[in-house]
């Protein structure tokens, strides 16, 4: 996403850019790009960046008593320097603290789905966590589990990690805190979503460390890009679940014959429209607010 008049991003990720705002601050801008299977697709999803930003900010508020987060402001009129008042940034950007990012993708699961199901079918475990026999796609797990992955650099894909491997990467003390907090975030999200008729099946969380050595919640949180949301009334173990996240897009890609290597295929208009509809529906049903 190129915005005239702004400096070169210090980091350009699959779906967002980070700009140096000085004094230990960054401006994080969410684009409408769509990533699947670690590949950025050529077709954008209209309003996706705005939905993700609004929903993340809502969840940061819901989680503020549980963990600190990196948000300084989402009001562009309060941004410093060349970023202040930029209409292109309204609704899709956040001024955040610069952190030292933890080199682990922290994932928690309350239900078996996706890559977790594939691992379970091979050895009865996910990321080294043994699970009971007889589970199937969409099964609720006896307890929420921590199932981390590596942070791969494209074109490589994230790979499952055991808890011992996380300990080796970040040390036993931080590994224990990552596991505890990631599970607590998913469990808090489930308690919020449950009365709204939504099953929150799993989530991926990004963590950073501030100058005081404190773990800080970063990036996005509990959005359709980082989580699986299912309508509770349609939940039926043993099949792929109807979803408020990008699982329908993943399913289409799986059936398209694509080899999951860049470049990805162009998305048909009906998949673009259905994906946008699900992102907006997730925001509105979770928050109780109309997306505008």
Average pLDDT, stretch 226-231? 94
* pLDDT exceeds cutoff 90 at 158: no
Which pLDDT score is estimated for 4? 79
- What does the angle CA 56 – CA 194 – CA 113 come to, to the nearest 5 degrees? 80
For 18-46, the DSSP string reads EEEEETTEEEEEE-S--EETTEE-SS--T
b/e 93-124 (16+ beta carbons within 10 angstroms → b): bbbbbbbeebebbbbbbbbbbbbbbebbeeee
* pLDDT exceeds cutoff 90 at 153: no
* pLDDT exceeds cutoff 70 at 206: yes
* pLDDT exceeds cutoff 70 at 47: yes
Average pLDDT, the chain: 94
Which pLDDT score is estimated for 251? 85
| Residue 239 C-alpha from the chain's centroid | 23
Q: Is the peptide bond before 246 cis (omega within 30 degrees of 0)?
A: no
Does residue 274 sit in helix, strand or coil?
helix
Residues 90-136 pLDDT 10s: 999 999 999 999 999 999 999 999 999 999 999 999 999 999 999 99
* pLDDT exceeds cutoff 90 at 5: no
Which pLDDT score is estimated for 37? 85
CA-based Rg of the chain, rounded to a whole angstrom? 19
Which pLDDT score is estimated for 178? 98
Average pLDDT, stretch 17-45? 94
Cα(76)–Cα(271) distance, rounded to whole angstroms?
Answer: 32
Q: Map out the domains of the chain with their CATH numbers.
A: 11-98 (3.30.200.20), 101-255 (3.30.470.20)
Contacts of 42 (CB under 8 A, 6+ apart): 263, 264, 265, 266
Strand 100-101 relative to strand 140-146, pairing? unpaired
Cα(283)–Cα(56) distance, rounded to whole angstroms?
Answer: 10
* pLDDT exceeds cutoff 70 at 33: yes
Average pLDDT, stretch 144-157? 83
Band (pLDDT 50/70/90 cuts) for residue 155 is low
Of the candidates 51, 56, 9, 19, the residue with the CA atom closest to the CA atom of residue 32: 51
Which pLDDT score is estimated for 250? 85
Structure tokens at 272: 């673009």
Share of the chain above pLDDT 90, in %: 86
Residues 233-274 pLDDT 10s: 999 999 989 988 787 788 899 999 999 999 999 999 999 999
């Amino acid at each position: 996403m190129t915005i005239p008049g702004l400096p070169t991003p210090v980091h350009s990720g699959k779906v967002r850019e980070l700009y140096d705002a000085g004094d230990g601050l960054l401006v994080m801008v969410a684009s409408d790009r769509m990533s699947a299977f670690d590949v950025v697709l050529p077709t954008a999803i209209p309003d996706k960046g705005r939905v993700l930003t609004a929903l993340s900010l809502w969840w940061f508020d819901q989680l503020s008593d549980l963990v600190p987060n990196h948000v300084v402001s989402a009001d562009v009129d309060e941004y410093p320097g060349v970023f202040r008042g930029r209409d292109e940034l309204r609704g899709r950007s956040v001024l955040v603290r610069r952190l030292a990012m933890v080199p682990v993708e922290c994932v928690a699961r309350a239900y078996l789905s996706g890559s977790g199901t594939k691992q379970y079918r091979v050895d009865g475990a996910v990321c080294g966590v043994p699970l009971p026999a007889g589970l199937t796609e969409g099964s609720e797990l006896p307890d929420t589990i921590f199932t981390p992955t590596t942070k791969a650099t494209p074109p490589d894909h994230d790979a499952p990690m055991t808890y011992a491997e996380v300990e080796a990467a970040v040390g036993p003390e931080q590994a224990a805190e990552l596991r505890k907090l990631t599970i607590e975030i998913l469990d808090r999200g489930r308690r919020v979503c449950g009365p709204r008729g939504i099953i929150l099946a799993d989530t991926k969380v990004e963590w950073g460390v501030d100058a005081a050595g404190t773990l800080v919640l970063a990036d996005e949180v509990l959005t359709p890009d980082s989580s699986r949301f299912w309508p509770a009334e349609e939940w039926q173990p043993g099949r792929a679940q109807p979803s408020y996240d990008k699982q329908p897009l993943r399913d289409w890609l799986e059936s398209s014959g694509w080899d999951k290597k860049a470049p990805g295929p162009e998305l048909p208009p009906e998949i673009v429209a259905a994906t946008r509809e699900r992102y907006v529906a997730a925001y509105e049903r979770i928050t109780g607010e109309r997306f505008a």
